[in-house]
Structure 1
Amino acid sequence: MGAIRRNTQLLWSEVVLAAGFWDRLQGLLGKSALHEEQGLLLMPCASVHTWGMRFPLDIVFLDREQMVLACREGVKPYGLKSCRGAWATLEVAAGSIARLGIAEGQRLEWISIGTKSAAA
């Protein structure tokens, strides 16, 4: 478990890191929703699908330095999104990108709060 911040601003306080193959494969499947403090950070990951999802997501693609390469808002179930050059993908509740002012070129930082890596 961890958190994502921008400079000193805490953006998401309940972010699960999915770094293993099975964790990335499971992703958010089976979940009914994400609340505004939750997220899933998939790495390495340059593309995601929302097949089988029950709710829309905002998706943030990051490079190896955690710089935002692209933002995709309100991605509906049964979609596919990718970003050339992405190293990690952050999945958060729909509306989060606009609410927090996330934009290309910003640097986000993953902060580990524990050692467990598993799907949210």
Structure 2
Amino acid sequence: MKLINSTTDTVLAQDLRQAHSFWSRFKGLMFQCSMPSDAALHLYPCKSIHTFFMKFDIDVIYLNEENEVVGIETNLVPGKMGWRYKEARSVVELPAGKLYGVSRGDTLAFAE
């Protein structure tokens, strides 16, 4: 599955994985050594994240029910808590440095 910024018609990730169950969200990216540069992880439902037990920095996109970007965090280092956005319904985690051109208000799409 691909992650696309519909507002700018840009592919953000070629390999979007989904974490939509309790256990897949719980595990997330913990204990992984790295993340491929073309990958992303979509956590749903989710309002906030942490990077405890992670070994690399990530960029984070917070989405509302309409998949509009309501928050962005760049270069979130291991061992930190992310922001909590009241209007967020899901979160996308990407390798650090991948959020160029993504802004609040953009709409993201998930495509096969």
**Take 2:57 and 2:28, find their aligned partners in 1: how far apart are those partners?**
14
Give deviations 1:24-82, integer Å, cap 9, x for gaps: 00001121111221010000000101001000100000001100001000001111112
**Structure 1 unaligned runs (5+)?**
114-120
Q: Tell me, yes or no, if the aligned pair for 2:12 and 2:98 is still in contact at 8 Å.
A: no
Q: Where do residues 4-15 of structure 1 align in structure 2 (5 Å cutoff)?
A: 4-7=3-6, 8-15=9-16
**Structure 2 unaligned runs (5+)?**
none
| Structure holding more strand per residue | 1
Within the alignment, does 1:33 sit opposite 2:34 as a pair?
yes
Give the TM-score normalised by the residue count of structure 1.
0.86
**Take 1:72 and 1:45, find their aligned partners in 2: how far apart are those partners?**
15
- Equivalent residue letter for 2:30: L
Name which of 83, 93, 96 aligns with 2:95: 93
Report the CA distance between 1:9 and its aligned residue: 2.8
- % identical equivalent positions: 26
Q: Where do residues 1-120 of structure 1 align in structure 2 (5 Å cutoff)?
A: 2-7=1-6, 8-81=9-82, 82-98=84-100, 101-111=101-111, 113=112
Matched length: 109
Moved over 4 A (4+): none
RMSD: 1.0
